[in-house]
Amino acid sequence: MNIHEYMAKNIFRTCNIKVPESYLARSPEEAYERAQLIGKPVVVKSQVLSGGRGKAGGILFADTPEEAKEKTAELFTKTIKEEKVTKVLIEEKVEDPISEYYITIILDRDAKKPLIMASTAGGMDIEQVAKESPEKIVKKYIEPLEEFMPYQARNIAFEMGVDTTEISAIGNIIWKLYQAYQEYDATVAEINPLIKTKTGFIAADAKMAIDDDSVFRHSKLKEMDEYKNSEFAYVPLDGNIAVIGNGAGLTLTGMDLIKHYGAKPATFLDVGGGASEEIITKAIDLVLRNPNVQVIWLNVLGGITRADDVANAIVNVSKEYGHKVPIVIRLTGTNEEEGQRILKEHGISFETSMEKAAQKAVSLINS
């Protein structure tokens, strides 16, 4: 599960990795206030889960609070790699960078070990560096069962070829990053760029992913609502019927049926075991961000979640979204009579057969 930059930076703060002063803003007005609080030129950074925001136009600079407000409004009109920008991080701009470094720790699943990669060629184009001059990237595995010692971190800094006066500071940051990686059961912990200034090093960007199976033991993370979107297994595809199901097998079967009847799925979206109103709302929100979606097919089999609860959720959600894009509903399972009665009462049509629902979804795009 990827987490947003601002959350990763909060983790960095708790691990004493220096980051610029920054505040989250959910509206241009809030951005104005935050920039005023910082009282210096700021960077307005889209909080989306994908990387490469700089290149995609998701990172803007602002000299005044007024400008921060304008830039935030501008970013809120953007979609970066299929994700709509709804919040930004207002961050003190790191002035006069001397150089930009790159440090990442990823779980190498083949080697079954964390791998540290570090380079003095940091900034935006690390993929290009990896392709064109791989010798500029130092790679070192960490033995997960042994303690990672500060001298080992300094060795990595040495191999990066940094100035001897920087080895201790860089080594210290690498070591702390590994502490953060371990403490939070991460699969990725990355700083790119780590900016060198006159006064030392500062992590201008932060990226982390937490092992899905460990999320439950990090209550600090769970408290943050931003996680909920990524509880889904979501894959955008190139068709135009958004297939939403509860359970991976059910969702895949739904996709097969859509193909069988001659159309293509626009998403694979498994909302998991729960199909509460909140989750259904978020799922529909998420698929509507994909401009190719012409029909939404909600394929729910009530299990632990009862069909009547799902029906109530659909009633409330369709009040809000019913008319933007047609929604085809298939609802069966536990308490289905009650669930279907609720839908009928609200004039919402539904199917009980998966085949019929799939055919209906396909006929709606062709009509």
Which residue ranges make up the site for Mn ion (CB under 5 A)? 192, 205
Q: Do the Cβ atoms of 41 and 124 come closer than 8 Å?
A: no
| Residue 89 parent element (H or E) | strand 88-92
Q: How far is the CB of 51 from ligand GDP (least distance, A)?
A: 5
Could you say which of 4, 49, 51, 107 contacts ligand GDP (CB under 6 A)? 51
Between CA 108 and CA 44 the distance in angstroms is: 33
Give 67 or 190: the residue with its C-beta nearer to Mn ion.
190
Q: Among the options 101, 102, 184, 227, which is catalytic?
A: 102
Per-residue x/- track, 293-332, ligand GDP (CB under 6 A): ----------------------------------------
10 Å Cβ neighbour count for 282?
17
- Give catalytic status of residue 261 as yes or no: no
Give the integer Cα–Cα distance in Å for 363 and 294. 11
Place of tokens 């940094």: 162
- From 67, 83, 92, 190, active-site residue: 190
Describe the strand order of the beta sheet including 241-245 as a list of residue ranges: 233-236, 265-270, 241-245, 295-302, 327-333
Comparison of 193 and 339: residue with beta carbon closer to ligand GDP = 193
Contacts of 10-17 spanning 24+ positions with Cβ under 8 A: 11/180, 11/184, 11/206, 11/208, 12/180, 12/203, 12/206, 14/180, 15/176, 15/177, 15/179, 15/180, 15/183, 16/176, 17/173, 17/176, 17/177, 17/180, 17/191, 17/203
- The residue nearest ligand GDP at its CB is 54
User: Does 94 contact ligand GDP by CB under 6 A?
Assistant: yes
Choose the one of Mn ion, ligand GDP, none that binds residue 339, judging by a C-beta under 5 to 8 angstroms depending on kind: none
Give the range of 53-61, 130-138, 240-248, 258-266 binding ligand GDP by CB under 6 A: 53-61
What is the closest distance, in whole angstroms, from the C-beta atom of residue 84 to ligand GDP in the complex? 16
Q: How far is the CB of 112 from Mn ion (least distance, A)?
A: 27
Task: Please name every residue paired with 137 in a beta bridge, in sequence order, or none if there are none.
Answer: 119
Tokens 């104005």: give the residue: 32
**Partner whose footprint covers residue 94, from Mn ion, ligand GDP, none (CB < 5 to 8 Å by kind):** ligand GDP
Q: Work out whether 205 is an interface residue with ligand GDP (CB under 6 A).
A: yes
- Residue 38 Cβ, how far from ligand GDP at the closest point, in Å? 11
Q: Does 54 bind ligand GDP (CB under 6 A)?
A: yes
CA dihedral in degrees (167, 168, 171, 173; nearest 10)? Answer: -120
CB of 332 to ligand GDP, least distance (A): 43
* Closest CB 149 distance from ligand GDP, rounded Å: 29
Kind plus residue range of the DSSP H or E element containing 3 = strand 2-3
Sheet holding 22-25, edge to edge: 22-25, 88-92, 42-46, 59-62
141 is annotated as an active-site residue: no
Interaction of residue 121 with ligand GDP, rule CB under 6 A:
no
Is residue 245 part of the contact set for ligand GDP (CB under 6 A)?
Answer: no
Q: Which of 39, 52, 57, 291 is the binder for ligand GDP (CB under 6 A)?
A: 52
Query: Cα 256 vs. chain centroid, distance in angstroms?
Result: 27
| φ, ψ at 13 (rounded to 5°) | -60, -45
Beta strands in 97-220 (DSSP E): 99-108, 113-119, 137-141, 186-197, 200-203, 207-210
Least separation, in Å, of the C-beta of 235 and ligand GDP?
21
Q: Choose among ligand GDP, Mn ion, none what residue 28 binds, the Cβ cut-off being 5 to 8 Å by kind.
A: none
Q: Which does 328 bind (CB under 5 to 8 A by kind): ligand GDP, Mn ion, none?
A: none
Residues that bind ligand GDP in the complex, under the rule CB under 6 A: 20, 43, 45, 51-54, 59, 93-94, 97, 100, 123-124, 192-193, 204-205
State the catalytic residues: 102, 190
